[in-house]
Structure 1
Amino acid sequence: MLPRLAKSSLIQQVRGVSAIANAEPSGPSIQTSIPGPRSKELKQEMDKVHQTTSVRFHVDYEKSFGNYVVDADGNTLLDVYTQISSLPLGYNHPDLVKVASSPQLITSLVSRPALGSFPRTDFADGISHALTSIAPKGLKAVQTMLCGTSANENAIKTAFIWYQAQRRGGLGPDALHLESCMTQQKPGTPNLSVMGFEGAFHGRSLCMLSVTRSKPIHKVDIPAFDWPIAKFPRYKYPLAQNSAYNKKQDQECLADVEAKIAEWKRRDNDVAAIIVEPIQAEGGDHYGSPAFFQGLRDVAAKHGIVFIVDEVQTGGGATGDVWAHDHWNLSSPPDIVTFSKKLLTGGYFYGEHLRVKEAYRIYNTWMGDPTKLLLLEKAVEVIKRDGLIEQSRSVGAEFQKRLGELQASSGGKLDQARGRGTFAAVDFPSGSLRDKFVDLAISNGLHCGGCGDKSLRFRPSLVYTKKHLDLTFDLLDKTLKQL
């Protein structure tokens, strides 16, 4: 592992993905159990002032670099989890470190703009370079937000506002709507619902929990809206050997969507929006086919429902395209696409027909963070300069092949190997065996994580290369033999 001072100067010099790979540690280095003594000590200190129930270990972010994370005890791990799929360029990418010292970022940080009212003079340019340049096909308008949850929350608000405007012939709220909403009465407070799916995850705010259904612990004790829960496909793998079964899954799920739209209509609780993930990442890496999503898009259009695609975890390149929904080749674009994580800032792209005309309806103090936008602008430049989407596509193809081979040689310990690009998962017979594997893998120097009931997920950065892939599968094979 490179010393702290040497690494600090090296960060300013390294340029390009191959140079980053050469500057990284040669491999994992495990000094203590994980969490180690220092991490445990820090957790005890933190527990006096902050909740720590979900803390796994403390990280030395000054020493972490590229695809390697270093913990408080000096343990160095190859990281294929990357802050829950949130690092596009790994740790301390030199180009991002340089941006972090720029005058624009410093002034944005210390005099943080309330973007809804007092944006920076260069904010529109930043939007253009960072976000418009990678906008989903057919969508150019964009709204920044703090995180994925707030992006989804405000996307749903945007859908409700549009849906009600259509009921009023395209007009904004009148005096009766404005007065009645203050006492939560009709027509200002309408009965409207959002369709989510079994196994979905869209965030943990009060509203989003009504469409989040990945784990009971997220939802228990929290009041929820009476919103429909539709079926989402549960495919068998390999796909080529189970096409008839999987096609039937698509048909059954689309029929369920139609049935629930009709049912909620009868309840006088119209479905105003459908929100869906391209891959149910937190819920267990469940996929839908292009045919399923085209069918879902058609249903939404037929009923005048806003179609929201939640790309918070899938957006940013890991699936082999900037947007996972590009793989569907839809006949018309989604109405809204939300994003965060690998795209550093939260927000959503939307169709021009959904533009909110009245001030303060989509609003909060920050409305995003210009420091994150500056970092994203540079990250997008690096991704294009270094061909990282193309690299993710080619490395991802090899990753899928190797994951299938690992399953075949696992003696029944692994099943349902699946993925797109380096965004991948595989199942264990039980959640307890999966959790045991994760702990063993971490002790061997591979930082990975679970999702759903029994799945192991992989979320490496875009600077993850064939060299890292080979080491990943060596560590996976070693860990499987220890189970």
Structure 2
Amino acid sequence: MVTEIPGPESLNQLHQLDQIQNTDAVAFFADYDKSCGNYIVDADDNVMLDLFTQMASIPIGYNHPKLTEAISKKENWSTFINRPSLGIFPPDNWNQLLKEDLLSVAPLGMKQVQTMSCGSCTIENGLKAMFIAHERRRRGGAPPTPEEMSSCMCNLPPGSADITILSFTGASHGWTLGALAASHANWMQKLDLRTMKWPVATFPSLKYPLEEYETENRMEEERSLSEVADKIEQYKKNGRPVAGCCIEPVQSAGGDNHASPWFFRELQKICKHNSVALLMDEIQTGCGSTGKFWAHEHFELPEPPDLMAFGKKMLAGGFYYREEMRPLEPFRIFNTWVGDSSKIVLLRAVLDMIKEDNLLALVSDTGTHLLKGLRDIERKYPCYISNARGLGTLCALDFPNNTERDKIIHGLRNRGVNTGPSGDRSIRLRPSLTFTKSHADIFLEIFESTIENKMA
């Protein structure tokens, strides 16, 4: 560490940027040319072990040679230079990229995929897919009526149907209006915005470690599931049927909230019984962070979800879906680019690394070590930190309040570790897939010394 963070150069850059746009969320400016592997370097040459990785979106570390190699290959140049409108003019290798890369890691039982550019537009279009499928089913497969086609142009029924999406307290599904209507993690996301009045069920508030509180947690999960069933029935009676349900395998921005595999299996049963499509939002949890490629694989669902969103570490946005979710007309799920084929080229290099270096096993091994270290520290400071939890290296722990949490995040940065907030009072850890036990030990030592300094 060379300076306090943010340092003089970051502050200078911040002042300049503030003349152009709002900068209240900026932590520091980074020098990405110097950043390497699991370490990020800021504009003042401070080197930090990065356990936040661009909000969980760096899969194999900074400036990985495999990614540099992919960009340098002449056969890939056209993909990076010419960004095609994939819905109308896909490149002649598009089928190959989808089949060999995206579909090679599709959840079991899912053979359809739709690319998108980011997580928010992925969720937005996933919601649309659920609405379209719901209304097609209501029509019995018949084409829309002239009245439906004309009324939708004025945002009126019957063409603009009053159908809804059920989501959960603490959820964070994106920043666009539809995704925000299903998000309930942060008031700053939603204030002043007119979003849809859709049903919201209470996500179960569990005690950790989960394995020590199975009886209490089961009662809490049963209460939440009962609420889900009641909301679906209530909205149906009120003429606003629930077309879909959105849920994260682990609520991430909303506080790293977990539920048991049983909860997710029962939720799927309720959705299926009520003809409600289930969208599993794996944008932050997918691509190996939990030790399995997809976090919902831990739940042993009897069948795949109806849709599953991906993004962040996948380097591309999009969703896998069951065939009944597929639109039958053109331009229903569409925008100018509907993704970026160059990102699939980079994803290929990531997938190669995951296989070659057995990174899923590394994540599981490192995650076990990391969580044990967090719980050891928690036992030393039970009045200050609590609820150490995680799957793989997707870990978190709680502090008394957000003020204390933010002090620790700031203290860690000034000791050479970058982490991020989650919910009202949690720190979330989101390292790359190449994060090892040695990296975990560095973090744990600095984390404990930061707390000791705070408690002194």
Q: Return the TM-score normalized by structure 1.
A: 0.93
- Residue 319 of structure 2 aligns with which residue? 348
| Partner of residue 330, structure 2 | 359
C-alpha separation between the residues in 2 aligned to 1:44 and 1:478? 32
Deviations 1:234-290 (A, max 9, x none): 111122221111001110000000111111112110000000000000000001111
Matched, 1:420 2:420: no
Partner Cα distance (1:173, 1:131) in 2: 33
| Paired positions, count | 454
Distance 1:174 1:322 in 2: 43
How big is the shift at 1:106? 2.8
Contact 2:97 2:345 in 1 (8 A): yes
Partner of 2:196: 225
| Alignment partner, residue 268 of structure 2 | 297
Superposition CA RMSD, Å: 1.0
Structure 2 counterparts to residues 193-232 of structure 1, below 5 A: 193-232=164-203
SS of the residue corresponding to residue 426 of structure 1 reads strand
Unpaired runs of 5+ residues, structure 2, are none
Give me the whole-angstrom Cα distance separating, in 1, the residues matched to 2:102 and 2:407: 40
Q: Match for 2:417 among 423, 428, 446?
A: 446
Q: In the alignment, what sits opposite 1:170?
A: 141
Give 1:184's aligned amino acid. Answer: N
Percent identity for Structure 1 against Structure 2: 39
Q: What's 1:69 paired with? A: 40
The one-letter code of the counterpart of 2:327 is: V
Asked if 1:370 is matched to 2:322, the reply is no
**Is 1:392–2:368 an aligned residue pair?**
no
Question: Within 2, Cα distance between the matches of 1:348 and 1:425?
Answer: 26
More off after superposition, 75-84 vs 96-105: 96-105
Unmatched 5+ residue regions in structure 1? Answer: 1-29
Distance in 2, matches of 1:129 and 1:401, equals 37
Give the superposition deviation at 1:213.
0.4
The answer to whether the 8 Å contact 2:282/2:294 transfers is yes
Match of 2:259 among 288, 293, 303: 288
Taking the aligned partners of 2:70 and 2:265, their CA distance within structure 1 comes to: 40
1:307 is matched with: 278
Give 1:103 deviation, angstroms. 3.0
CA contact 2:127–2:178 (8 Å) conserved in 1: no
- What amino acid does structure 2 have at the position aligned with 1:469? A
Measured after TM superposition, the shift of residue 411 of structure 1 is 4.5
Please tell me the residue identity of whatever aligns with 1:259: D
Q: Give the residue type in structure 2 aligned to 1:291.
A: W
- Shift in Å at residue 187 of structure 1? 1.6
227, 236, 256: which one pairs with 1:265? 236
Instruction: Report the CA distance between 1:183 and its aligned residue.
Output: 1.9
Q: Deviations over 1:28-61 (max 9, x none)?
A: xx00010000001011111222321211100000
Matched residue of 2:253: which SS?
A: helix
Q: Any idea what the Cα deviations from partners look like across 1:312-337, whole Å, max 9, x if unmatched?
A: 00001010101000000011110000
- Summarize deviations over 1:311-362 as a string: whole Å, max 9, x none: 0000010101010000000111100000000101000000011111100011
Q: Secondary structure at the match of 2:177?
A: coil
Q: How many Å apart are 1:173 and its aligned residue? A: 2.0
5 Å-filtered alignment, 1:24-103, equals 30-103=1-74
- The answer for the alignment partner of 1:479 in structure 2 is 450
CA distance in 2: counterparts of 1:458 and 1:334, whole angstroms: 26
Aligned twin of 1:24: none
Mapped to 2, the partners of 1:356 and 1:104 lie a distance apart of 33
1:318 equivalenced with 2:306 (yes/no): no
CA distance in 2, matches of 1:477, 1:471: 10
- Partner Cα separation in structure 1 for residue 238 and residue 76 of structure 2: 51
* Partner Cα distance (1:374, 1:54) in 2: 31
1:275 and 2:209 equivalent?
A: no
- The DSSP-based 3-state class of the residue aligned with 1:279 is coil
3-state DSSP class of the match of 1:31?
A: coil
C-alpha distance after superposition, 1:217-244 (max 9, x if no partner): 1111101111001011111112222111
Aligned to 1:338: 309
Whole-Å Cα distance in 1 between the matches of residues 100 and 42 of structure 2? 35
Distance 1:149 1:440 in 2: 31
1:445 counterpart letter in structure 2: G
Aligned partner (choices 93, 114, 118) of residue 85 of structure 2: 114
Match of 2:158 among 187, 202, 205: 187
Q: Return the letter of the residue paired with 2:149.
A: L
How far the C-alpha of 1:112 sits from its partner, in A, is 1.1
1:467 to 431, 435, 438: 438
Give the secondary-structure state (helix, strand or coil) at the position aligned to 1:439: helix
Q: In the alignment, residue 93 of structure 2 is paired with which amino acid?
A: D
Aligned partner of residue 254 in structure 2, secondary structure: helix
Q: What secondary structure sits across from 1:281 in the alignment?
A: coil
Task: State the partner residue of 1:410.
Answer: 381
- Structure 2 CA distance for aligned equivalents of residues 479 and 185 of structure 1: 57
Q: Report if aligned partners of 2:59, 2:350 keep a CA contact under 8 Å in 1.
A: yes
Q: Which sits farther off after the overlay, 146-155 or 176-185?
A: 176-185
SS of 1:283's equivalent?
coil
1:26 maps to which residue?
none
Residue 215 of structure 2 corresponds to 244
Decide whether the 8 Å contact of 2:48 with 2:413 is kept in 1: yes
The range that moved more, 472-481 or 407-416, is 407-416
TM-score (norm 2): 0.98
Q: Give the match for residue 15 of structure 1.
A: none
SS at match of 1:280: coil
Q: Deviations over 1:367-422 (max 9, x none)?
A: 00111111001111111111001110111111111111110012521101111110
Amino acid of the residue matched to residue 279 of structure 2? I
SS in 1 for 2:154: coil
- d(CA) in 2 for partners of 1:124, 1:172: 29
Determine helix, strand or coil for the equivalent of 1:95: helix
Residue 55 of structure 1: SS of its match in structure 2?
coil
The CA distance in 1 between the partners of 2:103 and 2:425, in whole Å, is 38
Q: Distance in 2 between matches of 1:105 and 1:178?
A: 43
